[in-house]
Homo-oligomer: A and B are copies of this chain.
Amino acid sequence: MTAERLYLFDTTLRDGAQTPGIDFSLEDKRHVAAMLDGLGIDYVEGGYPGANPTDTAFFADAPALDARFTAFGMTKRAGRSADNDPGLRALLEADADAVCFVAKSWDYHVRVALATSNEENLEGIAQSVAAACAAGKEVLLDCEHFFDGYKANPDYALACAKAALEAGARWIVLCDTNGGTLPHEISAIVAEVARHVPGERLGIHAHDDTGNAVANSLAAVRAGARQIQGTLNGIGERCGNANLVTLIPTLLLKEEFASRFETGVTDEALAGLTHLSRGFDEILNRAPDRQAPYVGDSAFATKAGIHASAIVKEPETYEHVPPETVGNRRRVMVSDQGGRSNLIAELHRIGLEVDKADTRLDGLLREVKRREAEGYAYEGADASFELLARRALGSVPHFFDVDSFRVMVERRHNAVGDLVTISEATVKVRVDGELLMSVGEGNGPVNALDMALRKDLGRYSPYLSGLELVDFKVRILNGTTAATTRVLVESADETGERWFTVGVSPNIVDASFQALIDSITYKLLKAGAPAGAP
């Protein structure tokens, strides 16, 4: 049986731009379009030329893509002819391979939102599609509220689809605009529609308002649709659109779909998916979702417990797909339930090969358990764990010592009577036997301490120029401010690498200090800094 072609349509730059809190710059749009093209997406919807300056500028200088660059817009206005509608003309003149029209297919909305007649809406669709075809565009019709419309008036919803089809539209896209349709409804309705519109011309546009956008897209394909519309990392209005980053691996790796369909995404591109997904979050300046299917940092992670030892024995039987197929990796984490086998697996992951019989493992395991009992959580702090492990195995050079530090936070009225808060830290460090004293100011005690600490580490300072703290989390372990405090620090450097370190103490400043020192030490270690003199 020869595979059928399944088309992927990305609307990250159009529907995705409707996400609260997300605003793409022109540069962002160019960057994302290139990422999508590299992934092998068939259609890249760039936006709505004319609707806002960014989209207009984006289409004014359209990117060169293998994908079909698509302009989104409305059908012609009621009461004027297609060639006399400036909005439509602008859309047809846009430098795009394809035009995706949005049109009402729910008679209720035709009446309420458009305040026009069913017939006029059908004419608008037919004339707009015909005009776009005449202008040499490939045409798609997004049938807004299709499923709600179909439930209310199936004949009219179908009439809208047929009008576009007969006018020459390549694709009729069934949109679950409110996102409230459930998978079994999608299956039933798409199957019905496929009896009137050939499946190879049907698309699905699902939203995640019930957490079923992915399932709805798969259900539509099984019912006959051959185009899936979605976004990177599932961004989009309200709860987001169907997540292409989740759908693509399922389509390429799961027998049911892989055996029946082919897409434009190669296995090589698939192996870059994790990187692409996290890179997209970088553009959005947000932390990647660690639990994201396939690409999340935890997607193939197992905390110790009943599964861990078996996973080390037979990983594939505990993984629905091999992590490397999507460019992700397996992680078996150390935790207070953990055992020797996890430890070896985790050491292997950080590049430390240790023989099962190595007696130093017992010492390390005891140390990990002792510290985790104190409140350390190494599963969230890879760098601190690596330092702990390398120390147990004797491979961490001694760089510097901190003799003492003092942090002061004062809130008072300043000379002009304003209430101000000042944070100041002094640190005494010993490098190569020489005592170095530094003072730093910051927005808070930890920031001040960080400033003072990195101000002068003698010959180690050059290694730290690119080091920055990107996040800082505090957890009180057993309630009340008198209890143990766990501080988790996330650091990054000029190479783009990120690492996590942990500190635990009854004192939040002390705990932060430990995490800061671990972060600096980890950076010096990976930069290959030489050991210091005692």
Taking a contact as CB atoms closer than 8 A, the residue among B108, B183, B285, B313 that contacts A183 in the complex is B183
Taking a contact as CB atoms closer than 8 A, the residue among B303, B320, B410, B469 that contacts A178 in the complex is B320
Knowing A409-B507, A513-B411 are in contact, say whether A320-B20 is a contact too (CB < 8 A).
no
Docked complex Cα distance between A291 and B240 (Å): 7
Interface centre among A209, A298, A450 (most CB of B within 10 A): A209
Knowing A178-B319, A412-B404, A480-B469 are in contact, say whether A210-B21 is a contact too (CB < 8 A).
no
User: Is A23 an interface residue, CB under 8 A from the partner?
Assistant: yes
> Which B residues touch A1, using CB under 8 A?
none
Docked complex Cα distance between A256 and B186 (Å): 13
Docked complex Cα distance between A442 and B506 (Å): 9
Contact yes or no, A407 B404, CB < 8 A: no
Docked complex Cα distance between A266 and B337 (Å): 37
User: Is A218 an interface residue, CB under 8 A from the partner?
Assistant: yes
Question: 8 Å CB contacts to B: which residues of A464-491?
Answer: 468-482, 485, 490
Docked complex Cα distance between A52 and B305 (Å): 10
> Which B residues touch A509, using CB under 8 A?
409, 411, 421, 423, 444-445
Taking a contact as CB atoms closer than 8 A, the residue among B285, B291, B469, B505 that contacts A475 in the complex is B285
User: Is A138 an interface residue, CB under 8 A from the partner?
Assistant: no
A271-300 CB mask vs B (1 if < 8 Å, else 0) is: 000000000000001000011111011111
Contact yes or no, B238 A298, CB < 8 A: yes
In the complex, what's the smallest C-beta–C-beta distance from A391 to chain B, in angstroms? 18
Residue of B nearest to A256 (CB): B182
User: Is A379 an interface residue, CB under 8 A from the partner?
Assistant: yes
User: Is A435 an interface residue, CB under 8 A from the partner?
Assistant: no
Taking a contact as CB atoms closer than 8 A, the residue among B178, B210, B298 that contacts A254 in the complex is B210
User: Is A25 an interface residue, CB under 8 A from the partner?
Assistant: yes
Taking a contact as CB atoms closer than 8 A, the residue among B179, B331, B409, B481 that contacts A472 in the complex is B481
> Which B residues touch A471, using CB under 8 A?
476, 479-480
Contact yes or no, A446 B214, CB < 8 A: no
Docked complex Cα distance between A407 and B424 (Å): 11
User: Is A340 an interface residue, CB under 8 A from the partner?
Assistant: no
Contact yes or no, B112 A238, CB < 8 A: no
Contact yes or no, A180 B320, CB < 8 A: yes
Docked complex Cα distance between A23 and B184 (Å): 37
In the complex, what's the smallest C-beta–C-beta distance from A210 to chain B, in angstroms? 5
User: Is A125 an interface residue, CB under 8 A from the partner?
Assistant: no
Contact yes or no, A293 B410, CB < 8 A: no
Knowing A184-B222, A209-B293, A254-B182 are in contact, say whether A472-B476 is a contact too (CB < 8 A).
yes
Taking a contact as CB atoms closer than 8 A, the residue among B19, B246, B303, B443 that contacts A482 in the complex is B443
User: Is A416 an interface residue, CB under 8 A from the partner?
Assistant: no
Docked complex Cα distance between A184 and B218 (Å): 9
In the complex, what's the smallest C-beta–C-beta distance from A175 to chain B, in angstroms? 12
> Which B residues touch A305, using CB under 8 A?
18, 51, 237
> Which B residues touch A296, using CB under 8 A?
238-239
Docked complex Cα distance between A509 and B509 (Å): 11
> Which B residues touch A335, using CB under 8 A?
23
User: Is A321 an interface residue, CB under 8 A from the partner?
Assistant: yes
> Which B residues touch A513, using CB under 8 A?
411
A96-113 CB mask vs B (1 if < 8 Å, else 0) is: 000000100000110011
User: Is A415 an interface residue, CB under 8 A from the partner?
Assistant: no
Residue of B nearest to A491 (CB): B480
User: Is A204 an interface residue, CB under 8 A from the partner?
Assistant: no
Report, nearest first, the 7 A-B pairs whose CB atoms are least far apart: A180-B320, A215-B215, A474-B474, A443-B506, A404-B412, A211-B214, A211-B246
Q: Told that A407-B445, A411-B509 touch, could you supply 4 new A-B pairs with CB distance under 8 A?
A: A184-B218, A445-B445, A469-B481, A474-B474
Interface CB pairs A-B, < 8 A, 13 = A19-B303, A27-B479, A210-B293, A239-B299, A403-B412, A404-B410, A405-B410, A407-B408, A409-B507, A409-B509, A423-B507, A445-B509, A472-B476
- Using a CB–CB cutoff of 8 Å, the interface residues on chain A facing chain B are 18-21, 23, 25-27, 51-52, 74, 102, 108-109, 112-113, 145, 148, 177-185, 208-212, 214-216, 218-219, 222, 234-235, 237-240, 243, 246-247, 249-250, 254, 256, 285, 290-294, 296-303, 305-307, 310, 313-314, 317-321, 331, 333, 335-337, 377, 379-380, 403-413, 421, 423, 442-447, 450, 468-482, 485, 490, 505-510, 513
